[in-house]
């Protein structure tokens, strides 16, 4: 069964990014009723720490050495996480902007799954190459500021370039970003921003 992998990154019940994802998925389910939707909620599933044997396994691989038993076990956990993403036919990431970037749980998820020989490879001749097959991906990014019309009052968005680059690094190039913002401030602007983004997401879901 083809699969859409949804990485949900907001802990809020009243989350704008999750509401955008729900609007998208309601349409997606109508367009592709036979698809499996695999939800990974980063605030409901406990992510392993990236330290100890898991961290050492990365250096062991980078150095071309073989794993110890504890490194092999730790790497197997990371591998299962990465496969959940890598084997999906479509990917949806819905996330808040936090302190100009992404929430730490999303950064932790990338720190776990970006691994040599698993999601990227390096050779002196070729440089870095992503190992994840490219597939249509949508990133919904909700922010208090307005990055849609550029009225962000001088604040920067480092979440979009970070996500674009890290996804590209592992091989996923076909990424569309849908910004939702402002989500704070005057009620009519917030409502309009949410409405515009959700209409766009429903439109995208018809052909995703």
Ligand X SMILES: Cc1cc2nc3c(=O)[nH]c(=O)nc-3n(C[C@H](O)[C@H](O)[C@H](O)COP(=O)(O)O)c2cc1C
Q: Is 44 left (phi over 0), alpha (psi -120 to 50) or beta?
A: alpha
Based on CB atoms, which residue is closest to ligand X, 86 or 97? 97
Minimum CB distance to ligand X, residue 92 (Å) = 13
Based on CB atoms, which residue is closest to ligand X, 45 or 73? 45
Question: Rounded distance, CA 136 to CA 178, Å?
Answer: 14
Cβ(42)–Cβ(113) below 8 Å? no
Based on CB atoms, which residue is closest to ligand X, 18 or 160? 18
* 89 burial via Cβ count (<10 Å: 0-12, 13-18, 19+): middle
Q: Is 64 left (phi over 0), alpha (psi -120 to 50) or beta?
A: left
Alpha helical stretches, state H, 148-186 = 159-170
User: CA separation (Å) from 122 to 68, 115, 118?
Assistant: 22, 11, 11
Based on CB atoms, which residue is closest to ligand X, 83 or 184? 184
Based on CB atoms, which residue is closest to ligand X, 117 or 144? 144
Minimum CB distance to ligand X, residue 177 (Å) = 14
Based on CB atoms, which residue is closest to ligand X, 170 or 190? 190
Minimum CB distance to ligand X, residue 181 (Å) = 6
Minimum CB distance to ligand X, residue 116 (Å) = 31
* Residue ranges binding ligand X (CB under 6 A): 10, 12, 15-18, 96-100, 142-145, 155, 183-184
Classify 124 as helix, strand or coil. Answer: coil
Minimum CB distance to ligand X, residue 39 (Å) = 15
Minimum CB distance to ligand X, residue 84 (Å) = 22
Residue with tokens 């729900």: 22
Q: How many CB atoms lie within 10 A of CB 61?
A: 17
Question: What is the maximum alpha-carbon separation in the chain?
Answer: 59
């Amino acid at each position: 069964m083809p699969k859409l992998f949804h990485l949900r990154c907001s802990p809020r019940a009243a989350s704008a990014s999750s509401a955008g994802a729900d609007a998208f998925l309601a349409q997606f389910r109508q367009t592709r009723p036979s698809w499996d939707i695999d939800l990974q909620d980063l605030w409901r599933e406990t992510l392993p720490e990236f330290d100890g044997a898991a961290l050492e396994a990365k250096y062991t691989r980078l150095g071309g050495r073989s794993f110890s038993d504890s490194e092999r076990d730790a790497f197997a956990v990371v591998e299962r996480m990465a496969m959940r993403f890598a084997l999906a036919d479509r990917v949806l990431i819905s996330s808040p902007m936090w302190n100009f970037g992404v929430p730490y749980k999303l950064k932790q998820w990338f720190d776990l799954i970006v691994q040599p020989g698993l999601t990227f490879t390096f050779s002196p001749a070729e440089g870095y190459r992503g190992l994840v097959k490219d597939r249509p991906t949508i990133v919904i990014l909700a922010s208090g500021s307005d990055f849609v019309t550029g009225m962000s009052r001088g604040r920067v968005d480092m979440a979009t370039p970070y996500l674009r680059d890290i996804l590209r690094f592992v091989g996923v190039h076909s990424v569309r970003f849908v910004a939702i913002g402002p989500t704070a401030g005057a009620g009519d602007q917030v409502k309009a921003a949410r409405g515009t983004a959700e209409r766009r997401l429903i439109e995208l879901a018809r052909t995703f």
